[in-house]
Amino acid sequence: MQPLHLQALLPLQSIMSLLPIVLTLVFFLCVQASSAATTDTILAGQALAISDKLVSKNGRYALGFFETSSKSSQWYLGIWFNRVPKFTSAWVANRDKPIRNTTLLALTISQDGNLVIINRSTKSIIWSTQASITRNSTTAMLLSSGNLVLTNSSNSSQVLWQSFDYPTDTLFPGAKLGWDKVTGLNRRVVSWKSLVDPAAGVYSFELDPSGVNQFLLTTLNSSISYWSSGVWNGKYFASIPEMTGSRQIFRTTFVDNDKEKYMTLNLADETMVTRNLVDVSGRSKMFIWVEGSQDWTMIYAQTKAQCDVYAVCGPFTVCSDNADSHCSCMEGFNITSPDDWELEDRTRGCSRNTPLDCISNKSTTHTTDKFYSLSCVKLPQNAPKVAVAARVSECAKVCLSNCSCTAYSFSDGKCSIWHDELINVRALRCSGPTNSTGETFYLRISAKDFNRSKSNRTKIIIGIATGTGISAVILFVLILLVIIWRNKRKISGRTTDGVQGCNGIVAFRYTDLQLATNKFKDKLGEGGFGSVFKGLIDGSVAVAVKRLDVAYQGEKQFRAEVSSIGAIQHINLVKLVGFCCQGSKRLLVYEHMPNLSLDVHLFRSNTMVLNWTARYQIALGVARGLAYLHDSCRDCILHCDIKPENILLDASFVPKVSDFGMAKLLGRDFSRVLTTMRGTAGYLAPEWISGVPVTPKVDVYSYGMMLLEIISGRRNSGTPCCSCGSIDVYFPVHVAYKLLEGDISCLVDPMLNGDVNLDEAELACKVACWCIQDVEFDRPTMGEVVQILEGLVEIGMPLIPRMLEAMAGSTHSAKS
């Protein structure tokens, strides 16, 4: 709407007579301006101010001006997720041209028909769609898909420009990713520069420029590809077999014709709110908005490891996948820009503390530069010059003779020389059974930094041995204490190895556990992670010793994980007493539970039948234990193997969750163990099959399957109950239908002879059916399960788990 300008030339009487009309017009304009602020369209003559926004008809997306940081005072025009309370940008128009003066800023349609950001005081254009428009009558609209389009006002189907053709870091559902063969337009996703700077970053996700039908993660500056989707085979990309799963969030389409070659991802469920992007660290990630947690949950990522991303830490750094902070500077270097580093912009990497001697003293042929060795690393990928050498010292001489040489390595009689910046040095794990094939890398640094490093190491050694001003008498006392400590270890028949006293965990020798378990003869049970044996410590203390069949972590990391797990204390979690880490042997020592595991009491006819009260309290106790693992520990701990065999009962039948933390202890082989269990466990969530990263909701699913067994006293996959007749119905699906019919008595264990609180039984069945929902964010959290079972929160009727129904071939679907 064009602003209305009143001429100030009328006499006062005329103005007073026009006042009612003026007030009416002002009111009309205010109402129109207010409504325009929430519209999805900008017409010719209208303007979107700094405080206004467009909202798509479905309310999912909004377009307007925003700041990425209150400190920067830089503004951008962009599209964000309107219904997500956590502000999340999805597209930025002026990503490389931030706006600092916003007082007279507006988004409007210019005289040539383009959509522009304009400074209304200077009439200067800050950003424009720059479309080739023959007729200047145009309209801008934010569609429900999140696409901002500029169309012909008389023919809205004629799109003159669209934001989908110019994606930033996010791929919208339905948007094309690929080439327009006619115009040469390359639609690709490019990361932000940092967490607060939407300028084009280092990494992109795009169609292979060589013409192969695959997508690549690449670096923009060097065009180096570090991940490939694999070739499209008509159904899925070769490196993403997860696309073939029965439960897919997106339907993928790949088109290759005379005009275009592109891929689109369309939501299978339009109610989902998803986010696909290439983040600042160079990984392609997929998120789903979870209302329960009010946050984005990552469900997929490529590359799998952060250090697989090319040059993710910048020059003169070492990347480690096993550290909390992936990137660290090499010896003799410091972070070039700490502020950028904190915002995950590490492109500048690290810089030398002291220039090399050969650079500072160019007139001399002699150099005092030294070499610092980095062992167990994967060498940089930039091709080095190779020379034949008989020994390491010859390599050093070759490197020192050239001032541009920054490092060398020696292997198999060959000398590899690196010049200038060092990129992509990666730390490997070279201890324990994994024994990665790392190499030693010799980094050239100044003598000053080398001596400082050597001095620091010496100070550490001296500090440990003597301390500041330590006398020979104190040193003698320390030696005496060590002798006494060793004697105590021999007497007690166990060793602390630096772990006892930290959370009270005891480090046992393997021979002592052999003796305690009578050479592992009294087996209590066997699971996917290993066998459990009964033992006696000091001849009287009963323990359960779990011998892990697969654990490929190094000793140091295994001890660290044991220490962290040992610190977890909860009435519904089995207490870890100690461990053994000797050579390749890994054993865990737990407190012994006299009433064995839950499966013994549910499925064996020769044991005591648990009454309903005991069962309900066991279900509640297990839920409390899992809620503690998920929400109350320093790090969220996933159990990943909840089943009756892993629920132990103490003398008072209080349930104790065992085997928690196995994902941390088993390291890289954990997924293989779970894979071997898929055929028989019956408790694994669909996420394991689809291959997406798992969340605490996998434990919720397993808990729901186990809760059904607690209610019924039977295996879920066993024969159907008597009231089902001859129809073979998968029991979890049968429970869902019986809930709808209001018939609970058929579902409860007949061994209870009707002595059941049916209200509690119905509540437990509802909880179980909600827990086993196909889509993970439809499931409650374990904290919510506790509140429901305690009667603090009401719960509605669950949906039928359709995936389970389809897998089981239930006949209920035909009846309904």
Q: What share of the chain is helix, strand, coil (3-state, %, to 5)?
A: 30, 25, 45
Residue 235 CB coordination number (10 Å): 9
Six token digits for residue 468: 């500041």
Among 639, 645, 651, 547, smallest CA distance to 593 is for 651
CA distances from 91 to 80, 252, 272, 712 (A): 7, 21, 19, 52
Q: Give the residue from 407, 436, 202, 229 showing the smallest Cα distance to 311.
A: 202
| 730 Cα distance to chain centroid | 33
Give the end-to-end CA distance of the chain in Å, rounded to a whole number: 56
For residue 457, what is the enclosing H or E element?
A: helix 447-465
Q: How far apart are CA 798 and CA 468, in angstroms?
A: 68
d(CA 573, CA 658): 6
> Are 554 and 434 in contact, with CB atoms under 8 Å apart?
yes
CA distance 214 to 239: 10
Cα 364 to Cα 357: distance, rounded to the nearest angstrom: 10
514 SS3 class: helix
Between CA 74 and CA 62 the distance in angstroms is 19
Joined tokens for residue 14: 């005329």
Kindly calculate the radius of gyration of the chain based on its CA atoms and give it in whole angstroms: 33
**DSSP reduced 3-state for 6:** coil
Q: Please state, in angstroms and as integers, the Cα–Cα distance from residue 806 to each residue in 229, 730, 803, 812, following that order.
A: 30, 10, 5, 10
C-alpha 444/C-alpha 405 separation (Å) is: 8
Residue carrying structure tokens 């090499």 = 330
User: What is the DSSP code string of 623-676?
Assistant: HHHHHHHHHTSSS-------SGGGEEE-TT--EEE-STTHHHHHGGGHHHHHHH
Instruction: List the catalytic residue out of 40, 279, 641, 699.
Output: 641
Confirm whether 641 is a catalytic residue: yes
Residues 197 and 67: their CA atoms lie apart, in Å, by 10
Q: Whose CA is closest to 708, among 744, 660, 678?
A: 744
- Phi then psi dihedrals of residue 692, to 5 deg: -80, 160
Pairing of strands 506-507, 576-582: parallel
CA 95 to chain centre: 26
**d(Cα 594, Cα 433) in Å, to the nearest integer?**
35
Residue written as token pair 């919720």? 700
Residue pair 595/651 in contact (Cβ under 8 Å)? The answer is yes
Instruction: Give the tokens for residue 12.
Output: 């006062």
Helices 782-789 and 758-771 sit at what angle, rounded to 10 degrees?
A: 170
| DSSP character string of 777-792 | GGSPPHHHHHHHHTTS
Pick the closest to residue 261 from 179, 196, 190 (CA basis).
179
Residue 406 and residue 385 in contact, taking contact as beta carbons nearer than 8 Å: no
Burial zone of 605 (CB within 10 Å; 0-12 exposed, 13-18 middle, 19+ buried): exposed
In angstroms, the Cα distances linking 181 to 261, 320, 606, 736 are: 7, 41, 74, 52
DSSP 774: S
Q: Which phi and psi angles does 493 have, rounded to 5°?
A: 75, 20
Tell me the catalytic residues: 641
